[in-house]
Structure 1
Amino acid sequence: MGNTDKFEMIANIYDTSERIQIAKVSSDAIREYLVDANSKHAIDFGCGTGLVGMNLLNDFNSMLFLDTSQHMINQIKQKISDFNIQNVDTLCFDFEEKGLSDLHADYIFMAQVLLHIDDVELVLSRLFDVLNEGGHLLIVDFNKNEKVVSDIVHNGFNQVKLTDIMTKIGYRNIQSKTFYNGNKIFMGHDASMFILDSQK
């Protein structure tokens, strides 16, 4: 996945107060879409240091923290150990490189991850394969922002265009909304964030 080397370098200083705050807002937004999740298995995809997933641990039966950065995964393992957390697992894996046929989940959520993914359609297709029938993929990310100019991340997403891509893959019951506006939260620019819920 894009920018893995950058995340490897900042893993041990990643949990800033701003990131913790955005993670709380994101996990609260995700929680609104969960249905009977306490019997379900979830994947925190592109989990980073697990800031979003840790907030949602009690909402699910079990959770897998998945990231392309081994250093980020190491941070999570430390948290799991420190807090003696049960029913969780970790995996360092890159879905842009290949798919994983033996991985399955009822819920996959990804918060501010899609903007780092070069081939969005490919990864969303591979995640579709991971979902159990009726399972949900929840995406939290930035709305398209023309002020952001970067050669390492997408400058946000148009919700309608993203919905079109996902519909083509096979996702259904797609709904999305903007839920948060923040100052200087996206590459130093004011930005808004959306949440998208979809089902297999």
Structure 2
Amino acid sequence: MGNTDKFEMIANNYDTPERVEIAKVSSDAFRNYLVDAKSKNAIDFGCGTGLVGMNLLNEFHSILFLDTSQNMINQIKQKITDFNIQNADTLCFDIEKERPSDLHADYIFMAQVLLHIPDVELVLSRLFDVLNEGGHLLIVDFNINEKVVSDIVHNGFNPEELTNMMTKIGYRDIQFKTFYTGNKLFMGQDASMFILDSKKGHR
């Protein structure tokens, strides 16, 4: 997945106060969209050091922390051991390179992950296949930001365009709203974040 090398290098020092705060904001936003999740299994996709998923462990039956960076996964394994967490597992996997055959979840959530993914449609399509019927994909990411110029990340997303792409894939009941605005949030620029909820309907 995009930028894995970079994340391998920063894994040990990833949990800065700013990242912890944004993860809390994101997980609180996700929590508002969960329905009867206590019996459900979730995947924290592109989980990094698991900052978002760790905040949601009590909401689900289990969470699988999935990332392309082994060093990030190692950080989570350490947390699972340190806190004696019983309902979490980890997987180092690159969904862009291979199609997951035995992965299934009722909820998949991803916070500030999509902007690192070159082929958004491919990944959203593969995640659709991982979702159980009626399952939800929840996305938190940045609204499009013209001031951000980068060759390593997307400069945010237009939720309407994202909705159109996801509808083509088969996602249904897509809703989104901007829920957070902050200073110097995105590559040094002031930015706003949206949350998008979608459901796996019949193809």
Question: Does the residue aligned with 1:18 lie in a helix, a strand or coil?
Answer: helix
Residue matched to 2:42: 42
Q: 5 Å matches for 1:147-162? A: 147-162=147-162
Shift of 1:99: 1.1
Q: What amino acid maps onto 1:180 in structure 2? A: Y
1:176 aligns with 2:162: no
Residue matched to 1:127: 127
- Matched residues in 1 for 2:176 and 2:184: separation? 23
Query: What TM-score does the superposition give when structure 2 sets the normalisation length?
Result: 0.98
Q: 5 Å matches for 1:135-146? A: 135-146=135-146
Shift of 1:87: 1.5
Residue matched to 1:194: 194
Residue matched to 2:95: 95
- Matched residues in 1 for 2:99 and 2:110: separation? 17
RMSD: 0.3
How many residue pairs get aligned? The number is 200
Question: Does the residue aligned with 1:191 lie in a helix, a strand or coil?
Answer: strand
Question: Does the residue aligned with 2:129 lie in a helix, a strand or coil?
Answer: helix
Question: Does the residue aligned with 1:7 lie in a helix, a strand or coil?
Answer: helix
Q: What amino acid maps onto 2:13 in structure 1? A: I
- Matched residues in 1 for 2:60 and 2:166: separation? 25
- Matched-pair identity in %: 84
**1:77-101 deviation line (CA, Å, top 9, x unaligned):** 0000000000111000001111102
Q: What amino acid maps onto 2:18 in structure 1? A: E
Residue matched to 2:69: 69
Q: Which runs of 5+ in 2 are unaligned?
A: none
Question: Does the residue aligned with 1:103 lie in a helix, a strand or coil?
Answer: coil
Question: Does the residue aligned with 2:149 lie in a helix, a strand or coil?
Answer: coil
Question: Does the residue aligned with 1:8 lie in a helix, a strand or coil?
Answer: helix
Residue matched to 2:81: 81
- Matched residues in 1 for 2:71 and 2:189: separation? 28
Residue matched to 2:108: 108
**1:127-156 deviation line (CA, Å, top 9, x unaligned):** 000000000000000000000000000000
Residue matched to 1:8: 8
Moved over 3 A (4+): none
Q: Which runs of 5+ in 1 are unaligned?
A: none
Residue matched to 1:60: 60
- Matched residues in 1 for 2:97 and 2:116: separation? 14
